Structure 1
Amino acid sequence: MSKDFASLPYRPCVGVMLLDPEGRIFVGERKDTNGAWQMPQGGIDPGEEPQEAALRELWEETGVTEDKVSVVGQTSEWLTYDLPDHLLGKIWNGKYRGQKQLWIVLRFQGADSDVNLETEHPEFGRWKWSNAVDLVEEIVPFKRDIYEQLVSEFSDLLA
């Protein structure tokens, strides 16, 4: 008997669009998937506000601390994506069909040397500043629609 994945809820999550002073976007390459670039993101803990979760995820994944950023935007609504069939039931203990994400846009006010991927649970093996076109082209296909929406919504902040 197969599980009805369409009936599963979305995992509440935040995403972080970290922008340098020129409007370029931070992306990291996942350690577990060569060539898979993405912006920092992660689940919202119980009782945690989305902005708190974004700052925590940023620190956990990049080593960038709250004093090195300022909040400059947030998506107007939650954005959702469904996992591709080959991942359904395999991640998040099979409890979710995908994620619903609130994205927080942060302006980076530090130096590149403030980025430290060697965190307690490293997610990225390397990182770079990307422009909007490359960002959308390099993201895994099942997240591309969300990244296109982000680039459109925050185009005034981007390089």
Structure 2
Amino acid sequence: MDFGLYRPCVGIMLVNQDGLVFVGRRRGKKIPEHLRTGHEWQMPQGGIDEGEEPYHAALRELREETNVSSTSLLAESPDWLSYDLPPDLSRRSWKGRFLGQRQKWFAMRFNGSENEINIASPDGGHKPEFDAWRWESIDRLVELIIPFKRAVYEQVVENFRPFAKPSR
């Protein structure tokens, strides 16, 4: 799998029993103000380690960002989705090695109780990625994400909309 100038990543649409989607508010003072205000909410995502299968990376990233492990797989995106970072960010992120990210997305059902979610001290002692979280309607996901990721989120919403329904 040759990604060239795109960092290989996974993304997770975690859907609860009510059909709502997990979003976390990105923490960090290093995020430029124009990207923070109103666009700081996103679904869990992260890099694929060398030799790691995308689904296993998704499970690992979900644990590292949310502490969640009580899931079942609903679907995998049929294609890899990519976005470019704005030029000012691409020079600073990942030491300028990547123009953006190419992502494989997974829809997962959250089967646990909410006390399993722990963004302050996620699995493995990883540094927290989020400083707040909530369940959100699938219809609001695109407006919450930073503009350069919107096309990816539009495709994810289109692919996974059938799974964002109550399962009770």
User: What TM-score, normalized to structure 1?
Assistant: 0.90
Aligned twin of 2:18: 22
Matched, 1:130 2:132: no
Aligned twin of 1:47: 51
State how far apart, in whole Å, the 2-side matches of 1:142 and 1:76 are: 21
Cα shift at 1:113: 1.0
Identity of aligned residues (%): 49
Task: Indicate which of 81, 101, 104 corresponds to 2:103.
Answer: 101
Q: 1:15-61 CA distances to partner (integer Å, 9 max, x unpaired)?
A: 01100012211000001155400111010001110010000000000
The unaligned stretches of length 5 or more in structure 2 are: none
> Aligned-pair RMSD on alpha carbons?
1.2
State how far apart, in whole Å, the 2-side matches of 1:78 and 1:95 are: 19
Q: 1:103-154 CA distances to partner (integer Å, 9 max, x unpaired)?
A: 0111000111110012221000000001122111111000011111111111
User: Residue 154 of structure 1: SS of its match in structure 2?
Assistant: helix
User: Residue 116 of structure 1: SS of its match in structure 2?
Assistant: coil
User: What TM-score, normalized to structure 2?
Assistant: 0.86
State how far apart, in whole Å, the 1-side matches of 2:162 and 2:77 are: 13
**Displaced runs of 4 or more, over 2 A:** none
The unaligned stretches of length 5 or more in structure 1 are: 1-7
Aligned twin of 1:9: 5
Aligned twin of 1:155: 161
Letter aligned with residue 52 of structure 1: H
Task: Indicate which of 59, 63, 67 corresponds to 2:63.
Answer: 59
Letter aligned with residue 134 of structure 2: K
Letter aligned with residue 133 of structure 2: W
Equivalent pairs counted in the alignment come to: 150
